[in-house]
Structure 1
C-alpha cells in the first residue's frame, strides 16, 4: 500500500512541543541546583616573607562538585583558582602588617559557599639588601600515618635576619609551608602504596631560600583491599667518573620484573630492560654512561612494568652530582 509522507510543516508542531519540553526540563534541572558547597575547611595563613603570605586549605569533597576557589584579603578578592589548587602565595603586601584571609568555594552552577573562618598572618619586617640565604635544615625525618597521609619533621635552620618559614618539597614541587617555630607538619592527599622523598628548605623575610635539607623517604601503605607494594625498594644512585650506577630491589609482583622506566629531573629518560636469563635475583644494578659535565645535578627515580602492562609506583628519588 502506498502511503503519503506527511508534509514537513505537519511535523513542526510536534517537534516544537518536544523541543519546548526538553528546554523546560533542562531549565528545571539548572534551576534546582541552588545549594552552595560547604565552606573550605582547614584554612591557614603563614607569612613567607616581608611582602607575601602563603594561604592553604583542604580540598573539598568530590561530592560537593566544587570547580574553583576564591581567595579574599579582608573583603577584597585577590585570587581565583581552579579546584585542583588549594594553596596560593599572596604577594605585594606591606611589611610588619597583619592581614586576614578567607576562602570561598564555587560550584559548576555558580553557587558560592560561605567564607571559611578567617586566618590571620602578620608579615615580618623587611631586611634591606638581605641576600644571605638561611642554612638548610640539618635533618629531616618522615613516617606514614596512613595510606594517604604522612608526618614530616625537620631541625631548625639559622639565618642572619631570622627564618620566617619552612617549605616542604616533594619531587621539586613545594607542597606545604610551615611557620618559623614549627618543626613538623602533617601532609595529606598522598597516594597509597607510594614512596615519597620529602625535603625541607628554610626561607627568610627577603624570600631567600636555603638549599634542600636531606631527603626523608616515606612509603605509604596500600589501602584496604589493595595488593603488595609496586615500588622498587632501596633505590640508590652513585656517581663515578663518566657514569652513574643504579641499584634497587625489585617489587614483589608474582613474576620477574624485566623492565623499568627511569626518570631524570622529573622526565622519563630511558627504559631499562633485562633480557631472558639476565633478570637479576635480589638486588638489581644498572650502569649509565654520562656525557654531561662534572657538577651537573640529577634527580633520579624509577618504576617497574607490572605483569598487567601498567607502570607501578615510583621508587624513592635520589639526587646525585656528576663527576668528571
Structure 2
C-alpha cells in the first residue's frame, strides 16, 4: 500500500507574515488596517417623562453607525447614570427627588468604543409626592390600533381615572413594557417592529405613587409582510377558558390553523416564554379549528402568558400566535 504524504509548508513561508501585531502583519502582507474611527450619530427624538415622584422614563430613536450600535448611555445633568444594550430604546431612571428639575441626554456607542455627541437635552420636573394616594387608576378601555406599515403601528385607548391623577400610560407587548406616554395622552406610535409578525399589546395606567391599573383588554395586530416574504404561518383566533376542577385548573385552548399547503402534525405550547409541551395529535390531525386541554396544578391567582406555534409540513417551526394571559381562578 502506498502511503499518503501530507506536504507541510516551510516555516519560512508560514512566518512570512508574522502576527506580532495585526497592523504590522497587514502591512507586511500588503494589507491595510481599517480602524473604526467614525462616531455614531447622536440619538434623536429623546423624551423624558415622570413615571412617579421619584422616577423618570426616558425614550429615544435609534442612532446609526457605519459598523453598528452596541449600546446607549443615559445622562442626567451631564453625568452618566445608566447604560443599556442597543436593542433597548427606553429605560427608567430611579432615585430622583420629588418636585425637582432635571435634564436628560443620550449618547450612542459602537463596538470600537466610539461615542456619539450628546442628544438634545430634555428637561423634566418630577411631581410632588402624591398625598395619601392609595388607589390604582382604573383600567384603560377600548384599546384599538392599526398597522401603519410593515414596521410601525399606532394605538389609541380611552383614558383612565385616579383618585389623585394619572401620570402615565405604559404600553406592554407580551408582558414587557415597551413604551410610555404622559397621562394627558391616549395614543402611542410604536416603531422598529418586524414585518409579517403578530403582536399582542395591552395598556396600563399609572399614578404618581407608582400604582398601576389592571391591563386593558389585549389587542392583536399583524404587521404586513415585506415584499417577497412568505405569508405568515401564525395560528389565529387563539381563545382560552379556565375552570377549576378540585385542586387543579383546566385551560381549554382553541385556535384557527394557518394555511401551510399541507398537514400540521404538531404544535409547541409556550408558557411565560418557555416551551412547556408539544401537542401531537393521536390520530389524523384536525382540519379547521383545533382544540387542546391543558391541566395546571398551581395555586389560585397564578398568572401565565400563553402562545403556540405550528410544525410546518417541511419539519420547521412556524410563526407564533398572539399571546394570551390566563389567571388561575375558579
Q: TM-score, normalised by structure 2?
A: 0.87
The structure-2 alpha-carbon separation of the partners of 1:41 and 1:310, relative to structure 1 and needing over 3 Å to count, comes to farther
Distance 1:306 1:199 in 2: 29
The structure-2 alpha-carbon separation of the partners of 1:272 and 1:62, relative to structure 1 and needing over 3 Å to count, comes to farther
- 2:33 pairs, out of 29, 32, 41, with 29
Task: Describe the SS at the equivalent of 2:141.
Answer: coil
Task: Describe the SS at the equivalent of 1:92.
Answer: coil
Does the CA-based 8 Å contact 1:193-1:231 persist in structure 2? no
Indicate the RMSD between aligned Cα atoms, in angstroms. 2.4
Partner of 2:3: none
- 2:185 pairs, out of 182, 191, 201, with 182
Does the CA-based 8 Å contact 1:193-1:313 persist in structure 2? no
Partner of 2:129: 126
Deviates more, 1:104-113 or 1:291-300: 291-300
Partner of 1:320: 326
Does the CA-based 8 Å contact 1:263-1:300 persist in structure 2? yes
- 5 Å-filtered alignment, 1:5-44, equals 15=15, 18-19=18-19, 22-24=22-24, 29=33, 32-44=35-47
**2:119 corresponds to 1:116:** yes
- 5 Å-filtered alignment, 1:127-146, equals 127-146=130-149
Distance 2:265 2:161 in 1: 47
Distance 2:50 2:85 in 1: 23
Partner of 1:280: 286
- 1:163 pairs, out of 151, 166, 169, with 166
Q: TM-score, normalised by structure 1?
A: 0.88
- In the TM superposition, residue 296 of structure 1 has moved relative to its aligned partner by 3.3
Render the CA deviation track for 1:258-292: whole Å, top value 9, x for unaligned.
Answer: 21111123322111112442x11111111223333
Partner of 1:69: 72
**2:296 corresponds to 1:290:** yes
Does the CA-based 8 Å contact 2:263-2:312 persist in structure 1? no
Distance 1:198 1:146 in 2: 17
Distance 1:80 1:323 in 2: 40
Task: Describe the SS at the equivalent of 2:148.
Answer: strand
Does the CA-based 8 Å contact 1:38-1:64 persist in structure 2? no
Q: Larger helix proportion, structure 1 or 2?
A: 1
Q: 5+ unaligned residues in a row in structure 2: which ranges?
A: 1-9
- 2:306 pairs, out of 279, 285, 300, with 300
- 2:82 pairs, out of 55, 79, 84, with 79
